[in-house]
Amino acid sequence: MAGSQRASTISDDPLIHTLEYTVVGASSHANPYRPERILEDNPNDPASRWSAEVKSPGKTWIVLKLKFPSLLASITFRKYYKPHPCNLNEFEVWTGSSQDRFQIQLRDKLKDNDEAEIFFLHNEEGSHSLPSVPCQFVKIVPLSSHAPKFNASIWNVVLRGIDDAGRIQELNTALQETKERESMRIVMKFLRQRGLEDATSRIQKATRVPLEDPVMSRLYSTVVNDMDYEAAELVVEDIAAKGGFSSCLRSSNPRALWRKLDPASKTGTSSIPCPRRGHAIVLGPNQHIYLLGGCNGTTELSDFWRFDIVTQQWHLISADTHKESGPGARAGHTMNFDPRTGSIFVFGRHVDVNRCSEMKKDAEQASDVSVPPDFFRYTHCRYKKATWERLSMDTLADGGPGLLSGHRTVIDSDSQMLYVFGGKISAKQRAPIYSGLYRYDIAARTWKMIFDDKIRGGPLLSRTDHGLVFDSSVRTLCTFGGTRDGAQLADIWTIRLSSGEASPAIESMSKLPMAPGVCQASILHGDIGEIRVFVPPRSASRVPSVWSLGDSWETWRVLETEVEDATLLSTRPTDSSQSACKGIQQGTFDVVYDGESNRHYLFGNDGLWSMNLRSPSSDEAIRKCRFILRKQRQAVSDVPHTNAKSDFA
């Protein structure tokens, strides 16, 4: 439903021009920001805008009336001469032939800058065609501003489209004929369901309006009238051959198809990573997956591995990274790859503060953990051996976060910034301390706090085991879910990196069909704007649940799980690392996404798995139809001496 600037062919129509309009209504306005001020284009005048009197996202609106009924092709938002806290962020555009009949046409976001942005409206059939229904009223609904504490403002709006009387009359005539034709079909279907097939045939002959595709009429006749289910199966195959299931298959949820990998090793089959939890993996260059650390049930690990996706081989890079100036044994850390510098960054670790305090002779000195919050980088070099570098011995002393676990990190490679949000600070305190949002400048090697936890003045509650993704197209972080003090959080927040401002995208995920709480791993598929979340399984399954949230952020979808070897689904191994690593915030697996192979890779206590999304096929649709038909045939055969038509009627 979102418009975009890519639909350039819409503007090629020679009849498209700037449309005249007036402002005919608004929910409210704050003086001096009257609704009619959006007719002016005065980017240097701070009062040349409309702003509602009361901040009520989704309940404020302004209605514009076009001079003539028109096909609306695009809407342009002009702005203030510089970024402004009241600048409109998210918005909706509705159109209608009257003020009491609106239909949504667009939902999108504006950037916080001085550049005008144009959004194209299009037909539901494709992004390269104009809307097919003329309108005379346009309703703009602000949903949020770029600064959450301010009311959203609209500075100037330009509407472009076609108001040629002849073109509009043709469309209105075609629309009326379509309405009449569809109404006649509904009447005929109703009569057929009541057994009045003669009346249906007479209406069809008189109006020459086809009831449906002939193949669908054949299916109805074989199932309902003849109850010939074998013939019906042949009709279903004919429907599939003609592409009759295409629309249904496109709208169906894909399946998460998991496959257990049994990779070899360059140094023998015994040299593969042992089962573990609390580890971290990251996708590096050349389709290589890197694995570091974790806990094997008895001790924390410091081994470093590389998996080649192409050759399906493991390679042990280092049995002990600490001996090579790298991080020591740890679990509960995160890793991020920076493609610009070819570096992998390692931050955080879990420390059992209770155990540390017990090891101290003086319990009163146990206010802080003796393990420093260090920070490492592993750098690839084309012409020499890759090396480890300790960037900081104590990030807290350098102005960064303390020793964290349960945190999340992402990298903005273009601006050379690494972001750390949330996590629990490892310190001997009665009440847990949660960390805010920090930024690390890779080039300058400096830390900066963007904001702290909400209880210390920040805009949102910090948390552990949450989701965090980075959208490079708009330089925005999105965080969601997680836990805090044992409670599961169910909100979604966006954080604009240009200003550091956080705003609630969805105040409660309970409005969406998803269980909030622990998000073991989250991935943003940038090409389609979809967030995928991997949630620990609640049953005996060996693979996690996969949820997806589309770019419209309207509905979470849980993907149906399928394992290539079905026997693996119900034979989940015992987590031997559970007892020794009980306090580790990061759980039993970590996930990366490889865009080249279009696959997700998971490594956990049960080894290495791959997952790709598979859409339903036409053959599956045929099998489901056969099942329904055979089930109906069995039901009919179980009823003796019946002359009734099939229940499908």
pLDDT of residue 358: 46
Once rounded to an integer, what is the mean pLDDT over residues 150-167?
Answer: 93
Least confident of 143-147, 319-323, 368-372, 493-497: 368-372
pLDDT, position 364 = 42
52-68: average pLDDT = 87
Using a 10 angstrom Cβ sphere, with 0-12 exposed, 13-18 middle and 19 or more buried, the burial of residue 93 is buried
Q: What is the pLDDT of residues 72-107, one digit of tens each?
A: 999 999 999 999 989 998 899 999 999 988 999 988
Contact at 8 Å (CB) between 450 and 500?
yes
pLDDT band at 337 (very low <50, low <70, confident <90, very high): very high
Phi then psi for 156, rounded to 5 degrees? -155, 140
Which pLDDT belongs to residue 365?
40
pLDDT in tens, 5-26: 333 344 456 888 999 999 999 9
Contacts 24+ apart (CB under 8 A), 385-393: 387/324, 387/325, 388/321, 388/324, 388/325, 388/326, 388/327, 389/325, 390/325, 391/345, 391/445
pLDDT at 200 over 80: yes
Dihedral, CA atoms, 519, 350, 477, 251, nearest 10 degrees? -20
- The answer to whether residues 58 and 141 touch, using CB atoms and an 8 Å cutoff, is yes
> What confidence tens digit (pLDDT) does each residue in 368-422 have?
446 889 999 999 876 678 899 999 999 999 999 999 989 999 999 999 999 999 9
Q: What is the mean pLDDT of residues 66-73?
A: 94
Q: Does residue 592 contact residue 285 with C-beta atoms inside 8 Å?
A: no
* CB 153 within 8 Å of CB 145: yes
Q: Measured between alpha carbons, how far is 244 from 6 in angstroms, rounded to an integer? A: 30
Please state whether the peptide bond connecting residue 32 to the residue before it is cis, i.e. omega within 30 degrees of 0.
yes
In the numeric block, which tokens belong to residue 542?
A: 């060996």
From the list 500, 579, 82, the residue with the least C-alpha distance to 295 is 579
Residue type (1 letter), 162? I
For the chain, give every residue range classified as CATH 2.60.120.260.
8-163
Q: If we measure between CA atoms, which residue out of 269, 292, 253 comes closest to residue 546?
A: 253
Q: What pLDDT, on the 0 to 100 scale, is given for residue 18?
A: 94
From residue 27, give the alpha-carbon distance in Å to each of 50, 95, 146.
11, 17, 20
Give me the residue label for tokens 């004919």: 238
Is residue 337 within 8 Å of residue 410, measured between CB atoms?
Answer: no
At 309 the pLDDT is 93
pLDDT at 585: 46
Which residues are within 8 A (CB) of 288 and not within 5 positions of it... i.e. 6 or more apart?
306, 307, 308, 309
Spatial CA neighbour of 123 closest among 17, 3, 252, 244:
3
Statement: the pTM of the whole predicted model exceeds 0.85 = no
User: How much of the chain exceeds pLDDT 70, in percent?
Assistant: 83
- Evaluate if residue 298 carries a pLDDT over 50: yes
Average pLDDT over residues 351-376: 59
Residues written for the chain: 649
Q: What confidence score (pLDDT) does residue 645 get?
A: 57
Beta partners for residue 602, in sequence order? 591, 609
Q: Band of the pLDDT at 233, cuts 50, 70, 90?
A: very high
CA atoms within 13 A on the CB side of 399: 10
pLDDT of residue 141: 94
- Superfamily, domain 8-163: Galactose-binding domain-like (2.60.120.260)
Query: According to the model, what pLDDT value does residue 643 have?
Result: 54
Q: Are the C-beta atoms of 85 and 169 separated by less than 8 Å?
A: no
- β-pairing, 101-109 vs 90-98, is antiparallel
pLDDT (0 to 100) of residue 557: 81
Q: Please, what is the average pLDDT of the chain?
A: 84
- According to DSSP, residue 30 is labeled -
Lowest mean pLDDT among 39-48, 399-408, 579-588, 602-611: 579-588
CATH code for the structural domain at 255-614: 2.120.10.80
Indicate if the pLDDT at residue 57 is higher than 50: yes
- d(CA 95, CA 61) in angstroms, rounded, equals 13
CB 337 within 8 A of CB 343: yes
CA-to-CA dists, residue 372 to 134, 305, 375, 419, 566, angstroms: 66, 25, 10, 20, 46
Structure tokens belonging to residue 251: 């709208």
The answer to whether the CB of 357 falls within 8 A of the CB of 609 is: no
Intervals of CATH 2.120.10.80 along the chain: 255-614
Q: What token pair was written down for 461?
A: 């509650």
